[in-house]
């Protein structure tokens, strides 16, 4: 089992955090998010992202607004709500703790 | 040579090779099955369709109008399979069995029809999708399986001739419950919950789907839903345009003051127009301006109507620009339009009242109107037979 396969569950779980972080920086639409993720280990596809985004919206973490695009159908631009920012802060904090634990354990 | 199928994705038409169409349909059907338990199913599906539409758009150019089968496959590979979101409770039957067993959602037209006549109890609801006001007419139309326009027309006629339509409407708007859940929506039209599939089909192509329905009733129902869907697209587009306008329009406080003034101007124009029509019918001349001998009265009336439209059009547009320039939230628009309509009606009524009291000629003209109307009808009849 390669490292890549082993960590697929962890990547899946972390995707929400990364999406929160990307949206926190600026208003983006799905293609922007995919592009930013594509260069990383978290490269993903629309088929995964749309269900995730719609659940996050249902949970009140983010919101979107419609914008006309110069060509083609209108696009949804996503932004974080206050609740989303709070969640991002909490998750980052927790992630920092986990990182600390990983580094600390087993060292004398 | 390959057969080409036209589909509707996100409100735009695309032409696909037949093989590509089959691939796309299979993809969307699998997606529907995967999202069976997802409360945002419809929204995710339309997001996905919009994304596919955008990718198709990028492939096409003026000399290339058809998306080839292999291009469809490439686009769908890029989209990736619709995965159940890890944060979502797993949808039983969808993720495990995959696309081979279709839990609901993908019945053929025949099965669907059988389920429909099997009798979902039909109840009267108000239906908000594609509604004009409160969805009363829409609900009645669905209940009786006829075109909502007919019901609306009936209400308008009832209001004009007996004055009861409005009252009945208001009472029904309060008493009749609104169809909110999918089950209620299904009961409103007597079709099973899989009626959502009709909308899915509408997106896959009007004429293709048309062939799939075995009987007239199902076809009519489908047509109705297709129209509704198209109207919703138009509304969405208009809404986008409005929000764009509110963001970018120059906001000037003077616009608020210009509004009633513009309404007044438009009201005055209407009164002048009404007087012109009356004077035309009564004297055969518009404010003393005689018609050429060979122009029938009704042509002149039509010309007046067109002239009125040309005159009032820019006024209307300017008024709307004022509303959006004021940057109102969406819910306020209907209120503003109502207020404006009331102001407009009041102006017209007042001016007409004044005209009737201070211009005896106008009053006389109105008294001779009925006989003139008969004469106009006779004119049209002789003109028609003369032709």
ipTM for the predicted complex comes to 0.84
Asked if B332 and B206 sit in the same domain, the reply is no
For residue B91, being part of any structural domain is answered with: no
DSSP for residue B63 = T
Asked if B210 and B259 sit in the same domain, the reply is no
Which residue of B48, B85, B239 is in closest CB contact with A55? B85
Q: How far apart are the first and last CA of chain B?
A: 50
How far is residue B196 CA from its own chain's centroid? Answer: 19
Asked if B236 and B271 sit in the same domain, the reply is no
Q: Could you give the C-alpha distances from B66 to A98, B17, B21, B206, B343, in angstroms and in order?
A: 52, 7, 11, 17, 52
Asked if B262 and B359 sit in the same domain, the reply is yes
Q: Which residues of A touch B86 (CB under 8 A)?
A: 12-13, 15
For residue B90, being part of any structural domain is answered with: no
B85, B235, B238, B245: which to substitute to probe chain A, counting the most A Cβ within 10 Å? Answer: B85
Asked if B227 and B272 sit in the same domain, the reply is no
Q: Do A58 and B10 touch (CB under 8 A)?
A: no
Question: In sequence order, which residues have a C-beta less than 8 Å from that of residue B247 and are 6 or more positions away?
Answer: none
Alpha helices (H) along chain A: 3-6, 8-25, 30-38, 46-58, 82-104
- Size of chain A in residues: 108
Q: Which residues of A touch B78 (CB under 8 A)?
A: 45-46
Confidence grade of residue A84 (pLDDT, cut at 50, 70, 90): very high
Which residue of B12, B82, B87 is in closest CB contact with A73? B12
Question: In sequence order, which residues have a C-beta less than 8 Å from that of residue B265 and are 6 or more positions away?
Answer: B315
Q: Residue A44: which CATH number?
A: 1.10.10.10
What does the buried/exposed string (b/e) look like for B337-372 if buried means 16 or more CB atoms within 10 Å of the residue's CB? Answer: eeebeebbeebbeebbeebeeeeeebeebeeeeeeb
Question: Is residue A80 predicted with pLDDT exceeding 90?
Answer: yes
> In the numeric block, which tokens belong to residue B322?
């004022």
For residue B100, being part of any structural domain is answered with: no
Instruction: Count how many Cα atoms sit within 13 Å of the Cα of residue B240 in the half-sphere of its side chain.
Output: 16
Which residue of B9, B54, B80 is in closest CB contact with A45? B80
Query: CB contact, 8 Å: B44 with chain A?
Result: yes
Which residue of A53, A57, A72 is in closest CB contact with B53? A72
> Going residue by residue through chain B (387 aa), what tens digit of pLDDT does each one get?
678 888 888 777 888 888 888 888 888 888 888 888 888 888 888 888 888 888 888 888 878 888 888 999 999 988 888 876 655 544 443 333 333 333 333 333 333 333 333 344 567 777 777 777 778 888 888 777 777 788 888 888 777 766 677 777 877 877 777 777 666 666 666 554 444 454 555 555 554 555 555 567 777 776 777 777 777 766 766 666 666 555 555 555 556 566 677 777 877 888 888 878 777 777 767 666 666 666 677 777 777 888 887 777 777 777 766 666 555 555 556 666 677 777 777 877 888 788 777 777 777 777 777 777 777 778 778 877 876
Q: Could you give the C-alpha distances from B168 to B133, B140, B176, in angstroms and in order?
A: 14, 13, 11
Q: Which residues of B touch A74 (CB under 8 A)?
A: 50, 236-237, 240
User: Could you tell me which chain B residue has the CA closest to the CA of A72?
Assistant: B54
For residue B84, being part of any structural domain is answered with: no
Question: In sequence order, which residues have a C-beta less than 8 Å from that of residue B355 and are 6 or more positions away?
Answer: B271, B275, B362
Which residue carries 């983006």 as its tokens? A28
Domain of residue B226, residue span: 109-247
CA distance A47 to A38: 14
Pair type for strands B4-9 and A75-80? unpaired
User: Could you tell me which chain B residue has the CA closest to the CA of A52?
Assistant: B85
Question: In sequence order, which residues have a C-beta less than 8 Å from that of residue B8 and are 6 or more positions away?
Answer: B14, B202, B203, B204, B205, B206
Tell me the DSSP string of B155-200.
HHHHHHHHS-HHHHHHHHHHHSPB--SHHHHHHHHT--GGGHHHHH
Asked if B281 and B358 sit in the same domain, the reply is yes
Work out how many domains chain B is built from and give that number. Answer: 3
CA distance B98 to B69: 23
CA distance B324 to B328: 7
Q: Are the CB atoms for A80 and A21 separated by under 8 Å? A: no
Q: Which residues of B touch A84 (CB under 8 A)?
A: none
CA distance A54 to B245: 27
A30, A54, A58: which to substitute to probe chain B, counting the most B Cβ within 10 Å? Answer: A54
Asked if B48 and B125 sit in the same domain, the reply is no
Q: Is B35 exposed, middle or buried (0-12, 13-18, 19+ CB in 10 A)?
A: buried
Q: Are the CB atoms for B297 and B284 separated by under 8 Å? A: yes
Of B195, B213, B247, the domain-final residue? B247
Q: Do B79 and A69 touch (CB under 8 A)?
A: no
For residue B95, being part of any structural domain is answered with: no
Asked if B226 and B346 sit in the same domain, the reply is no
Tell me the DSSP string of B292-326.
PTTS-HHHHHHHHHHHHHHHHHHHHHHHHHHHHHT
Q: Are the CB atoms for B24 and B223 separated by under 8 Å? A: no
For residue B88, being part of any structural domain is answered with: no
For residue B160, being part of any structural domain is answered with: yes
Angle between helix A30-38 and A46-58 (nearest 10): 120
Q: What are phi and psi of B190, to 5 degrees?
A: 75, 10
User: Could you tell me which chain A residue has the CA closest to the CA of B55?
Assistant: A72
For residue B75, being part of any structural domain is answered with: yes
Distance from CA of B80 to the nearest CA of A (A): 5
Asked if B276 and B355 sit in the same domain, the reply is yes
Asked if B311 and B380 sit in the same domain, the reply is yes
Asked if B347 and B236 sit in the same domain, the reply is no
Of B247, B278, B301, the domain-final residue? B247
Domain of residue A21, residue span: 3-104
Distance from CA of A86 to the nearest CA of B (A): 18
Q: Do B47 and A45 touch (CB under 8 A)?
A: no
> In the numeric block, which tokens belong to residue B331?
């819910």
Average pLDDT, integer, range A1-24: 86
Confidence grade of residue A101 (pLDDT, cut at 50, 70, 90): very high
Work out how many domains chain A is built from and give that number. Answer: 1
B10, B34, B47: which to substitute to probe chain A, counting the most A Cβ within 10 Å? Answer: B47
Query: CB contact, 8 Å: B83 with chain A?
Result: yes
B14 bridge partner residues: B7
pLDDT of residue B378: 82
DSSP H or E run through B288: none
Instruction: Count how many Cα atoms sit within 13 Å of the Cα of residue B47 in the half-sphere of its side chain.
Output: 26
Asked if B118 and B243 sit in the same domain, the reply is yes
Distance from CA of B52 to the nearest CA of A (A): 10
Q: Is B144 exposed, middle or buried (0-12, 13-18, 19+ CB in 10 A)?
A: middle
DSSP H or E run through B184: helix B182-189
DSSP H or E run through A75: strand A75-80
Q: Which residues of B touch A76 (CB under 8 A)?
A: 47
Of B247, B267, B290, the domain-final residue? B247
B16 bridge partner residues: B5, B67
Which residue carries 């009786």 as its tokens? B144
């Amino acid at each position: 089992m390669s490292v890549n396969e082993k960590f697929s569950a962890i990547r899946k779980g972390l995707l929400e955090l990364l999406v929160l972080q990307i949206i926190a920086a600026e208003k983006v639409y799905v293609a922007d998010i995919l592009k930013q993720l594509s260069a990383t280990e978290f490269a993903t596809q629309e088929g995964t992202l749309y269900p995730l985004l719609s659940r996050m919206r249902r949970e009140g973490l983010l919101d979107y607004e419609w914008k006309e695009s110069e060509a083609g159908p209108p696009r949804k631009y996503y932004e974080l709500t206050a609740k989303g920012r709070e969640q991002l802060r909490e998750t980052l904090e927790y992630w920092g703790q986990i990182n600390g634990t990983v580094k600390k354990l087993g060292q004398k | 040579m390959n057969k080409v199928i036209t589909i509707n994705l996100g409100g735009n038409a695309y032409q696909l090779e037949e093989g590509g169409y089959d691939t796309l349909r299979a993809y969307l059907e699998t997606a529907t099955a995967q999202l069976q338990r997802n409360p945002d199913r419809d929204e995710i599906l339309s997001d996905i369709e919009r994304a596919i539409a955008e990718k198709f758009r990028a492939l096409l150019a003026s000399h290339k109008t058809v998306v080839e089968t292999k291009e469809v496959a490439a686009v769908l590979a890029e989209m990736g399979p619709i995965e159940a979101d890890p944060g979502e409770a797993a949808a039983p039957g969808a993720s495990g069995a995959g696309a081979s067993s279709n839990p609901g959602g993908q019945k053929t037209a025949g099965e669907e029809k059988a389920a429909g006549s099997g009798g979902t109890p039909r109840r009267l609801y108000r239906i908000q999708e594609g509604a004009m006001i409160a969805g009363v007419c829409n609900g009645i139309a669905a209940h009786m399986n006829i075109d909502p326009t007919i019901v609306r027309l009936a209400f308008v006629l009832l209001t004009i001739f007996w004055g009861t339509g409005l009252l009945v409407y208001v009472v029904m708007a309060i008493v009749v419950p609104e169809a909110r859940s999918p089950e209620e929506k299904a009961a409103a039209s007597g079709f099973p919950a899989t009626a959502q599939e009709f909308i899915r089909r509408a997106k896959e192509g009007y004429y293709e789907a048309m062939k799939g329905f075995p009987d007239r009733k199902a076809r009519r129902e489908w047509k109705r839903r297709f129209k509704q869907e198209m109207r919703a697209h138009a509304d969405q587009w208009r809404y986008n345009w409005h929000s764009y306008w509110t963001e970018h329009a120059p906001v000037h406080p003077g616009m608020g003051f210009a509004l009633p003034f513009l309404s007044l101007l438009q009201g005055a124009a209407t009164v002048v127009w009404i007087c012109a029509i009356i004077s035309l019918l009564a004297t055969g001349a518009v404010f003393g301006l005689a018609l050429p001998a060979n122009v029938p009265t009704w042509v002149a009336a039509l010309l007046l109507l067109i002239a009125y439209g040309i005159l009032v059009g820019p006024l209307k547009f300017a008024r709307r620009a004022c509303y959006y320039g004021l940057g109102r939230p969406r819910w306020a628009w209907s209120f503003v339009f109502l207020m404006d309509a009331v102001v407009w009606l009041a102006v017209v009524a007042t001016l007409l009242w004044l005209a009737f009291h201070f211009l005896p000629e106008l009053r006389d003209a109105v008294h001779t109107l009925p006989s003139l109307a008969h004469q106009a009808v006779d004119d049209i009849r002789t003109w028609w037979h003369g032709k």
